[in-house]
Amino acid sequence: MVDTDYETTDVVICGCGPTGAMLSTYLGRMSIPHVVIEKEPEITTDPRGIALDEDGIRALQGAGIYDRLYSDIGTCMHKFKFIGGTDKVLDKKAFLEMDYGTTEGGTGHVGFICHKQPILEKHLRTAMTSSSFCQLQTNATMIDMREEGEHVYSQYRDAQGKVHNLKSRFLVGADGKTGFTRKSFMEPLGIRMEQAHQCFYDETWVALNWEISLPTERTHPDFPLWKLGYTPQEVYDLFFPESFRLIQDITFPDDCIRVLRSRPFRFAARSCNRWSHSRVILCGDAAHVFPPFGGQGIASGFRDAISLAWRLVLLCRRKPSTKPSNHEQVLSAWYIERKQQLERSLASTIANGQFVTEGNPLKIFLRDWSLYFLHFIPTWRRDLRLGRRKEGMVPYKYSPGLPFNPAHKGGTFLRQVYCKPIGKSGDVLFSDDIIFEKEKKGLFQLLVYLKNVNELTAAREAVSRIEETSNGEIPYSEVTYLVGKLEMESRVLTQDTYSVYRLATAEEFAGSHLCRGRPKPEYYDPHQLGKALGGTKFVLIRADRVVYAACDNASQLEKEVREAVAYLRA
């Protein structure tokens, strides 16, 4: 078959679950043509995932759907209470309580939301298909793929049985743990799913999804609550309150409960030995699976997608060359980084799981009493309340080939703060939304963090040649300036304040539209970004919100920019 028989694109994504849709959205925002192949005709209505952590919330914000987050997708999960014993009582004192309704994790968001996955996927698909660079094919089945030279050739069959041929520079398998990409293409090449942890617990559980209808006096005339004046809705609210758990048999009419899904699953922590082979890549559940104790399944897929997206953009923007491509090094660096974060997520998931499943009476006794005494120590009490957030935003550990400079704070995750434009009235904004504004095209962005606005003129002069130094990779017009002050004196606002912002307070955020539907930002520290930067002024940031390097002066910045450009241009 000749190449003219193939439809050509830059990237093919196999699977349009949360991970595939997130990857597509970010590729579309960065103008990379791609085709998404999804075997289901519509979004799966099973509400599989229910929890999403603050990294996942930040990813949805970056996808441009924050405005739908609390109005349609989900609500904040506040306190996680762990109670012991086998008695069927919910109001007993918890041996451990974590508060994820506060804003202390470094992202500007609450710790967790409880979401409706089909609704989440609906808004992600709306975001991805709004881009002219995305072509979504639903009710389509991938039937073949092969690598040849600098391309991947794949075939899919549509709903009418017609076979289509695709030629792409890369193919990403985001089609789940039993998907075609890993099972049919990767496993014969020696890529396999391996146990990632000596599991503390190995049992089969059953996941149930119910559709519950309301009983009425006509359908259930003998139901006793009608005599007490209850309405059908009040009956439902009584049996299924906001924080209900089915810990004992219920007397709600069972013919009003329809089982939508009853599926066994094993608790497992597994990860592939490699996540890519040449130009074919595994992402999300196709590369790793989590036990369901920490709300990390979807969030980890989102992290995969965001950190992979800019690397695919980097590789696709390069023009064909006679020099050997370094795409394998770029992709292996991606999954080496991701495996580090995966291990941290797994550690917190396993810790939660041990609380839930521990059955040894002696261990339970020691756990409960040790936690009881730790609550008397203020710093420990705060750490216990923070849960997995107590460690903060843990940086990547450097190894050769990873794209950051550890000597200059590289590998750390950029803290997100609230801000407002200087010199004009305006709404409170998230710092990500100004640094990575949709119209910006640079894969690396430059943030200039100023102690006060009087440093602005000198800072503009210091970065005036950034576009020339970076060979156009970092346009001067895309530089963002953030002043680490919560208020400005009117006399200093006579300068050019284009793309200049100041920090906003928790109170300003609470009064803005961004706080609608979520709790006020309790314990939020507006100066957390400056503290994390340690006084450095110039911050070079990757598109996945990871710091490449933070510098004190213009000469140091020029050196780091040249090294970053060497990586981008290879």
What is the rounded distance in angstroms from the CA atom of residue 220 to the CA atom of residue 508? 52
User: Do 304 and 326 lie in a common domain?
Assistant: yes
pLDDT of residue 290: 74
Q: How many separate helices (H) and strands (E) can be counted in the chain?
A: 15, 25
User: In 3D, which of 175, 154, 176, 150 has the Cα closest to residue 164?
Assistant: 154
The alpha-carbon radius of gyration of the chain (Å, integer) is 26
Give the pLDDT confidence of 131-151 residue by residue, as tens digits. 999 999 999 999 999 999 999
Q: Please tell me whether residue 13 adopts helix, strand or coil conformation.
A: strand
Give the pLDDT confidence of 372-395 residue by residue, as tens digits. 888 888 888 888 888 878 777 889
| Contact in structure between 463 and 557 (CB atoms under 8 Å) | yes
Q: How many CA atoms lie within 13 A of 392 on its CB side?
A: 13
pLDDT of residue 47: 66
User: Would the pLDDT of 279 be above 90?
Assistant: yes
Least confident interval from 9-23, 347-361, 387-401, 551-565 = 347-361
What is the rounded distance in angstroms from the CA atom of residue 37 to the CA atom of residue 173? 10
pLDDT of residue 98: 87
Kindly report the average pLDDT of the chain as a whole number: 89
User: Do 451 and 546 lie in a common domain?
Assistant: yes
User: Would the pLDDT of 124 be above 80?
Assistant: yes
Instruction: Tell me phi and psi for residue 151, to 5 degrees.
Output: -140, 160
pLDDT of residue 3: 60
241 burial class (0-12, 13-18, 19+ CB within 10 angstroms)? exposed
Higher pLDDT, 59 or 89: 59
CATH number of domain containing 342: 3.50.50.60
What predicted TM-score, i.e. pTM, was given to this entire model?
Answer: 0.88
Higher pLDDT, 44 or 210: 44
Q: Of 242, 264, 286, which marks where a domain is finished?
A: 264
Q: How many CB atoms lie within 10 A of CB 190?
A: 9
Least confident interval from 111-120, 349-358, 397-406, 455-464 = 349-358
User: Would the pLDDT of 301 be above 60?
Assistant: yes
And the tokens for 553?
A: 């002066």
Q: Please tell me whether residue 492 adopts helix, strand or coil conformation.
A: helix
pLDDT of residue 246: 58
pLDDT of residue 57: 97
Q: For the chain, how many structural domains are there in total?
A: 3
User: Do 454 and 313 lie in a common domain?
Assistant: no
Give the pLDDT confidence of 39-56 residue by residue, as tens digits. 999 998 876 778 899 999
pLDDT of residue 292: 64
| Contact in structure between 525 and 78 (CB atoms under 8 Å) | no
The DSSP output letter for 197 is S
User: Do 479 and 557 lie in a common domain?
Assistant: yes
User: Do 243 and 342 lie in a common domain?
Assistant: no
What is the rounded distance in angstroms from the CA atom of residue 542 to the CA atom of residue 540? 7
Range of the domain at 447: 406-569
User: Do 272 and 165 lie in a common domain?
Assistant: yes
Say which amino acid occupies 147: E
Structural domain includes residue 67: no
What is the rounded distance in angstroms from the CA atom of residue 510 to the CA atom of residue 280? 45
Least confident interval from 96-105, 330-339, 345-354 = 345-354
Give one word for 37, left, alpha or beta, with left for phi > 0 and alpha for psi -120 to 50.
Answer: beta
1 burial class (0-12, 13-18, 19+ CB within 10 angstroms)? exposed
User: Would the pLDDT of 166 be above 60?
Assistant: yes
CATH number of domain containing 457: 3.40.30.10
Give the pLDDT confidence of 456-509 residue by residue, as tens digits. 999 999 999 999 999 999 999 999 999 998 877 555 555 667 789 999 999 999
Higher pLDDT, 105 or 343: 105
Q: Of 224, 244, 264, which marks where a domain is finished?
A: 264
User: Would the pLDDT of 219 be above 70?
Assistant: yes
User: In 3D, which of 460, 459, 482, 463 has the Cα closest to residue 528?
Assistant: 482
And the tokens for 11?
A: 């990237």
Structural domain includes residue 61: no
Percent of the chain predicted with pLDDT > 90:
65
pLDDT of residue 30: 96
What is the rounded distance in angstroms from the CA atom of residue 225 to the CA atom of residue 185? 59
What is the rounded distance in angstroms from the CA atom of residue 34 to the CA atom of residue 10? 6
pLDDT of residue 257: 81
Higher pLDDT, 80 or 228: 228
111-115-120-123 Cα dihedral, nearest 10 degrees: -80
Structural domain includes residue 74: no
Structural domain includes residue 249: yes
User: Do 161 and 208 lie in a common domain?
Assistant: no
What is the rounded distance in angstroms from the CA atom of residue 47 to the CA atom of residue 63? 21
Structural domain includes residue 420: yes
Say which amino acid occupies 37: I
What is the rounded distance in angstroms from the CA atom of residue 342 to the CA atom of residue 300? 7
User: Do 426 and 525 lie in a common domain?
Assistant: yes
User: In 3D, which of 393, 366, 311, 409 has the Cα closest to residue 104?
Assistant: 393
Higher pLDDT, 361 or 123: 123
Structural domain includes residue 382: no
User: Do 308 and 455 lie in a common domain?
Assistant: no
- Angle at CA 241, nearest 5°, toward 237 and 243? 165
User: Would the pLDDT of 100 be above 60?
Assistant: yes
Confidence of residue 289 (pLDDT cuts 50, 70, 90): confident
User: Do 331 and 218 lie in a common domain?
Assistant: no
User: Do 340 and 449 lie in a common domain?
Assistant: no
Q: 73 Cβ partners below 8 Å, 6+ apart?
A: 60, 65, 113, 115, 116, 119, 120, 123
User: Would the pLDDT of 356 be above 60?
Assistant: yes
* Distances 526 to 59, 345, 441, 532 between C-alpha atoms, Å: 21, 26, 28, 12
| Contact in structure between 557 and 568 (CB atoms under 8 Å) | no
And the tokens for 253?
A: 């009419």
* Distances 351 to 345, 346, 356, 365 between C-alpha atoms, Å: 10, 9, 9, 17
Least confident interval from 90-94, 156-160, 510-514 = 90-94
Structural domain includes residue 230: yes
User: Do 347 and 482 lie in a common domain?
Assistant: no
Least confident interval from 215-229, 265-279, 538-552 = 265-279
Structural domain includes residue 92: no
Higher pLDDT, 359 or 472: 472
And the tokens for 236?
A: 């439902």
Confidence of residue 319 (pLDDT cuts 50, 70, 90): confident
What is the rounded distance in angstroms from the CA atom of residue 33 to the CA atom of residue 282? 19
Percent of the chain predicted with pLDDT > 70:
89
User: Would the pLDDT of 204 be above 70?
Assistant: no
Q: Of 222, 243, 264, which marks where a domain is finished?
A: 264
User: In 3D, which of 18, 14, 9, 117 has the Cα closest to residue 63?
Assistant: 18
